[in-house]
């Protein structure tokens, strides 16, 4: 392991150290961390389901769980990165590992069906703006939905409307008259991104040997532009065949889990940009005026 030369490098939030490791050392450290991440998700989802009568608390735990799932998926994209690119991509992937917005988008992205990696970036871009317009004719200015939803569940805070009106946001109000999210509160339904992680684990790919197989199967293709789901399915097939040949598949594996990996594990996103796009008030006002003019037929 690299020598510690600065006190600020001691403590939590040190995944950036992966950038200073060899491929084998990276896989060793990721292998060591996967049980901790999986256990964290399992605990949070279990607690969320137990709090069905406390929907706000359940939502907070559920969102925390989804961000832990995202951390797993981000690390796996680092494993899926071609060997010759990994050194240059590790730093930015760890940036996403610690970004709330990137993690929330990463989980959402598992359900998207873009034709190519380029189109996948376009989908991601729609979730990156700091503010957006909503309403029948885009008459309202709203903050980034992913971040606002996260913070509005977690915090009571002073909220400013676009006309300057100030009022308190009560995080319990959102949930008092809403139905619970059955996807996360039901004991027999888990989020699809979590099912991806479970499938990979049950097929033996979270073992140290399994991570090596994953790296070998995916590193042959650089998912950078026009690569498609067809390319991804080929990598999944090669990975699963190799896992079976190595005797890694566990007795918990089910046939339908292969379909989860073929159809629901998103193409690798190590080339994608997840940073928030700052949108100015002037830009938003101009877009509102343009949309109103179009609505009025000017």
Q: Look at the chain and report how many structural domains it folds into.
A: 1
Note whether residue 122 is domain-resident: yes
157-160 and 166-169 beta bridge pairing = antiparallel
Beta carbons within 8 Å of 276's beta carbon, 6+ residues apart: 101, 128, 129, 130, 144, 147
Residue 114 lies in a domain: yes
Question: Is 240 a member of any domain?
Answer: yes
- Domain that includes residue 112, residue range: 7-129+179-264
In this predicted structure, what is the pLDDT of residue 298?
Answer: 66
pLDDT of residue 297: 73
Residue 243 lies in a domain: yes
Question: Per residue of the chain (298 residues), what is the pLDDT tens digit?
Answer: 566 666 667 788 788 889 889 999 999 999 999 999 999 999 999 999 999 889 999 999 999 999 999 999 999 999 999 999 999 999 999 999 999 999 999 999 999 999 999 999 999 999 999 999 998 888 899 999 999 999 999 999 999 988 899 999 999 988 876 655 544 444 446 788 999 999 999 999 999 999 999 999 999 999 999 999 999 999 999 999 999 999 999 999 999 999 999 999 999 999 999 999 999 999 999 998 888 877 777 6
Dist. CA 44–CA 37, nearest whole Å: 11
Residue 47 lies in a domain: yes
Is there a domain that residue 153 lies in? no
Q: In the prediction, which pLDDT does 207 show?
A: 98
Measure the CA–CA gap between 205 and 258, rounded to whole angstroms.
12
- The runs of H, that is alpha helices, within 98-205 are 100-109, 117-125, 145-154, 173-176, 182-185, 192-202
The partner residues of 141 in beta bridges, in order of sequence, read: 133
CA distance 23 to 97: 18
Structure tokens at 170: 């009560």
Q: What are phi and psi of 134, to 5 degrees?
A: -140, 170
* Residue 260 is assigned to a structural domain of this protein: yes
pLDDT of residue 177: 65
Residue 182's pLDDT is 43
**Residue 283 maps to a domain:** no
Q: Please give the pLDDT value at position 187.
A: 44
């Amino acid at each position: 392991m690299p020598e510690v030369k600065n006190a600020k490098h001691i403590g939590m939030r040190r995944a950036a150290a992966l950038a200073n490791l060899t491929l084998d050392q990276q896989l060793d450290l990721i292998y060591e961390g996967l049980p901790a991440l999986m256990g964290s998700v399992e605990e949070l989802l279990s607690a969320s389901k137990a709090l069905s009568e406390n929907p706000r608390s359940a939502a907070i735990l559920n969102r925390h769980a989804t961000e832990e799932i995202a951390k797993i998926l981000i690390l796996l994209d680092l494993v899926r990165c071609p060997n010759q690119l990994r050194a240059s991509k590790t730093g930015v992937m760890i940036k996403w590992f610690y970004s709330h917005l990137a993690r929330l988008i990463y989980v959402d992205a598992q359900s998207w069906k873009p034709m190519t990696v380029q189109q996948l970036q376009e989908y991601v871009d729609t979730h990156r703006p700091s503010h957006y317009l909503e309403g029948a004719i885009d008459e309202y200015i709203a903050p980034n939905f992913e971040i606002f939803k996260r913070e509005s569940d977690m915090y009571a805070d002073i909220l400013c409307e676009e006309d300057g009106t100030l009022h308190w946001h009560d995080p319990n109000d959102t949930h008092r008259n809403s139905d619970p999210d059955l996807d996360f509160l039901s004991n027999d339904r888990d989020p699809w991104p979590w099912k991806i992680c479970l499938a990979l684990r049950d097929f033996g790919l979270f073992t140290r040997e399994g991570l090596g197989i994953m790296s070998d199967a995916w590193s042959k293709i650089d998912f950078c532009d026009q690569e498609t789901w067809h390319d991804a399915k080929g990598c999944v097939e090669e990975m699963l065949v190799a896992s079976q040949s190595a005797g890694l598949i566990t007795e918990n594996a089910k046939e339908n889990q292969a379909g989860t990996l073929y159809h629901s594990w998103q193409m690798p996103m190590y080339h994608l940009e997840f940073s928030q796009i700052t949108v100015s008030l002037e830009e938003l006002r101009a877009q509102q005026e343009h949309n109103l003019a179009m609505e009025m037929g000017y």
